[in-house]
Structure 1
Amino acid sequence: MTAAVAFGHTRTVPVHFDDLDAMGIVHNARYALMLERAITAFWADHGHAFTESGPTSTDVVNAVREFSITYYRPIRGTGDVIVRFWLDKLGETSAVVGFEFTSPDGSAVYAAGRRVNVKLDPRTLRPAPWSADARGIAATLLRTPEEISH
Structure 2
Amino acid sequence: MSANAHAIPIHITPDDIDFMGHVNNARYLNWVQDVVLSHWRKVAPPETVAAHAWVALKHEITYRRPAFLKDDVVASTVLEKIAGARAFYNTVIDRGGEVLAEVQSMWCCIDTNTLRPARIDRNVAEKYFGLPRQQKTYTGE
**Equivalent residue number for residue 57 of structure 1:** 50
Contiguous gaps of at least 5 residues in structure 2: 137-141
| Map 1:1-150 → 2, pairs under 5 A | 4=1, 8-46=5-43, 56-59=49-52, 61-103=53-95, 105-106=96-97, 108-131=98-121, 134-135=124-125, 136-139=127-130
User: TM-score normalised to the size of structure 2?
Assistant: 0.77
Structure 1 residues 71 and 123: alpha-carbon distance in aligned structure 2, compared to 1, 3 A threshold:
same
What's the % identity of the aligned pairs?
Answer: 24
Structure 1 CA distance, aligned partners of 2:45 and 2:55?
A: 15
Alignment size in residue pairs: 130
User: Could you list the per-position Cα deviations for residues 27-66 of structure 1 after superposition, in whole angstroms to 9, with x for gaps in the alignment?
Assistant: 01001111222223333334667xxxxx95223x121111
Q: Could you tell me which amino acid in structure 2 is paired with residue 110 of structure 1?
A: L
* C-alpha distance in structure 2 between counterparts of 1:48 and 1:77, whole Å: 35
Q: Which runs of 4+ in 1 moved over 4 A?
A: none
Unaligned stretches of 5+ residues in structure 1: 50-54, 146-150
Residue identity opposite 1:26 in structure 2: V
- For normalisation by structure 1, the TM-score amounts to 0.73
SS at match of 1:57: helix
